[in-house]
């Protein structure tokens, strides 16, 4: 019996194509995302970082603000990583456990990134959808306001807010979130301008549905794919902004810390041979940012209609 390999290959391709056609858009996007190795690697690494920030305090016998006076007395081995005394990452120059402080920095940096992104996504999505749907002079005024705010250096405004209202976690959340919604609003506005010409929007208008209801129930759900992708790419920028102001000394207050504050302290002690104080927080910082970028790229590729 002669086997026609070309026919078998063609049959397999047809079966695969029919399987793809049988899936919904979200199911197809999930399938494409799971096949992206870089995105899945980033998701696994990010999950481990989150678990580390949650379960890490149960492993360490030290608190992030406790000082080990015995370590300070031994100048020869000041703060070196050791399993015997429970300082897995060593200590800083003040004798505080670096492992616990990295956990504290991870929690604060991730909270700033996630909460700031949530604020930016909610404000930017609603603002852009309302501007794009209403159109006309209202759209022109709202977009000119966005252009004016974009012309102001965001980092300068953030530093000014920290100086005027004090260094607090809440102010960092609000400041970073409210300065990052501008680009999101322009993206959603462009999508809304194309969606408002669709038949289902015209049908909603013809049946007397209120504009606010159309925006929240018809337009916003149809731009969620773009919102999700942009949010994952927005989180690293939030973390970097918080790390930058903490590096300048304007971030969280002692004894609390963040990745930026830890990296700042590590650069000061690097010349004294305490390289672990820089390498551990910097390693978590770099790995987490790369994970978010890989996940964002994977979601963008999975939700891109041009690649279907």
pLDDT tens digits for range 210-246: 888 888 888 887 787 788 878 887 888 888 887 777 7
Label residue 248 by pLDDT band (50, 70, 90): confident
Label residue 47 by pLDDT band (50, 70, 90): very high
| Radius of gyration, CA atoms only, the chain | 25
Domains for the chain: give ranges and CATH numbers: 45-307 (1.10.3720.10)
Q: What local confidence, expressed as pLDDT, does residue 19 receive? A: 47
Label residue 45 by pLDDT band (50, 70, 90): very high
Residues near 304 by Cβ (< 8 Å), separated by ≥ 6?
none
Tell me which of 135 and 44 has the higher pLDDT.
Answer: 44
What global pTM score does this model have? 0.75
Q: Which residues pair with 137 in a beta bridge?
A: none
Please state the φ and ψ torsions of residue 251, each to the nearest 5 degrees. -90, -135
Cα separation, 246 vs 109, in Å, equals: 10
> What is the rounded average pLDDT for all residues in the chain?
79
How buried is residue 168: exposed, middle or buried, by Cβ count under 10 Å (0-12/13-18/19+)?
middle
Label residue 48 by pLDDT band (50, 70, 90): very high
């Amino acid at each position: 019996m002669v086997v026609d390999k070309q026919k078998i290959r063609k049959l397999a391709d047809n079966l695969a194509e029919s399987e793809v056609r049988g899936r919904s858009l979200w199911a197809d996007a999930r399938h494409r995302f799971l096949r992206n190795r870089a995105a899945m690697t980033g998701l696994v690494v990010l999950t481990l970082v989150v678990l580390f920030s949650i379960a890490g305090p149960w492993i360490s016998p030290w608190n992030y603000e406790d000082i080990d006076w015995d370590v300070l007395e031994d100048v020869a081995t000041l703060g070196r990583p050791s399993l015997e005394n429970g300082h897995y990452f060593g200590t800083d120059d003040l004798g505080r456990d670096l492992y616990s402080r990295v956990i504290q920095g991870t929690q604060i940096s991730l909270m700033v990134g996630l909460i700031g992104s949530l604020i930016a996504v909610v404000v930017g999505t609603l603002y852009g959808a309302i501007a794009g749907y209403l159109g006309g002079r209202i759209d022109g005024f709202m977009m000119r306001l966005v252009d004016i705010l974009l012309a102001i250096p965001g980092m300068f405004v953030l530093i000014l807010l920290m100086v005027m209202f004090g260094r607090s976690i809440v102010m960092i959340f609000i400041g970073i979130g409210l300065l990052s919604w501008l680009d999101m609003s322009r993206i959603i506005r462009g999508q809304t301008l194309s969606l408002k010409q669709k038949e289902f929007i015209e049908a909603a208008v013809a049946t007397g549905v209120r504009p606010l209801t159309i925006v929240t129930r018809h337009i916003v759900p149809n731009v969620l794919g773009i919102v999700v992708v942009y949010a994952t790419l927005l989180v690293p920028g939030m973390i970097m902004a918080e790390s930058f102001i903490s590096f300048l000394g304007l971030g969280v207050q002692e004894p609390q810390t963040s990745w930026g504050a830890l990296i700042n302290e590590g650069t000061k002690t690097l010349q004294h041979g305490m390289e672990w104080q820089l390498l551990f927080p910097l390693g978590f910082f770099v790995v987490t940012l790369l994970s978010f970028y890989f996940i964002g790229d994977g979601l963008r590729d999975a939700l891109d209609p041009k690649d279907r």
